[in-house]
Amino acid sequence: MRVVLTGASGGIGSALAQALLQQGAHLLLVSRSADKLQTLQARLGSASVSTLVADVTQAQDRAKIVAAAISFQANVLINNAGIPSFGALQPLPPEQLEAVLHTNLLAPILLTQGLLPHLTRQAAAHVLNIGSVLGRLGLPGYSVYCASKFGLRGFSEALRRELQFTPVRVQYLGPRATQTTFNDAAAARYQQHTGTHTDTPQQVAQAALRLLQSADAECFLGFPEKWAVKLNAVAPQMLDRAFRSHTEFVMKGE
């Protein structure tokens, strides 16, 4: 695998870079942070790792990523860059809503579109979108984040079907809450209050590897999250009461 990985310097991104490298992949790591990229590259300590400082929300930077990916002869794109959003919808600043939807949804769509002509010329290629279990399960306090991840999952599903007769396989990974610095203190209190289970970034990375090596379209992590995703697909209102404590926490603004 010759992998372009966005959001590489974050918790899941760095764990995924390590896991891919251990499997013999060549990596082009993309992040907005030059310092974090440099630290990660030094930690990985491999000639198989290249880096690119770029912001996926900026058109000129996406063009840089596409050009670098073609030169790198990439056959895997992992859209992992993302930003959080937690809290009741009403007080959220409009610019935060725009940033979340731009980063988590529009940017990976545009980057995939830009790289697709190259990927379809490969003997075999992958697009792996790192989403969230909240791409299939609407949770109080995460309306905007859910919107971005529901959109990313829908994009993945539709594009997978669109490209089914090409060499490109499109997949979606839905982690549950992960032990990183991604969420703020309020989200952490929410998780503690509601008894949310978490995984390590390494567990998410291993799940991503398994998905890449499989023919599966998507994968969601954790129990009861997997069960809730299935129930939500057929009887969503049955879960409304199950999230009562989540709603109370959010609406109290704790």
Q: Determine if the pTM surpasses 0.75.
A: yes
**Tens digit of each residue's pLDDT (9 = 90 or more) over 61-104:** 999 999 999 999 999 999 999 999 999 999 999 999 999 999 99
Per-residue pLDDT averaged across 136-146, rounded? 96
Q: Choosing from 142, 145, 172, 190, which is the catalytic residue?
A: 145
pLDDT value at 194 more than 90? no
CB 34 within 8 A of CB 54: no
Strands 76-79, 2-5: pairing is parallel
Q: What is the pLDDT of residue 46?
A: 94
CA 8/CA 50 separation, integer angstroms? 11
pLDDT value at 254 more than 70? no
Per-residue pLDDT averaged across 108-127, rounded? 98
In the residue annotation, 145 being an active-site residue is answered as yes
Per-residue pLDDT averaged across 174-199, rounded? 87
Q: What is the pLDDT of residue 251?
A: 86
pLDDT value at 28 more than 80? yes
pLDDT value at 121 more than 90? yes
Per-residue pLDDT averaged across 224-239, rounded? 91
CA 210/CA 20 separation, integer angstroms? 11
CA 119/CA 77 separation, integer angstroms? 9
pLDDT value at 239 more than 70? yes
Q: What is the pLDDT of residue 213?
A: 96
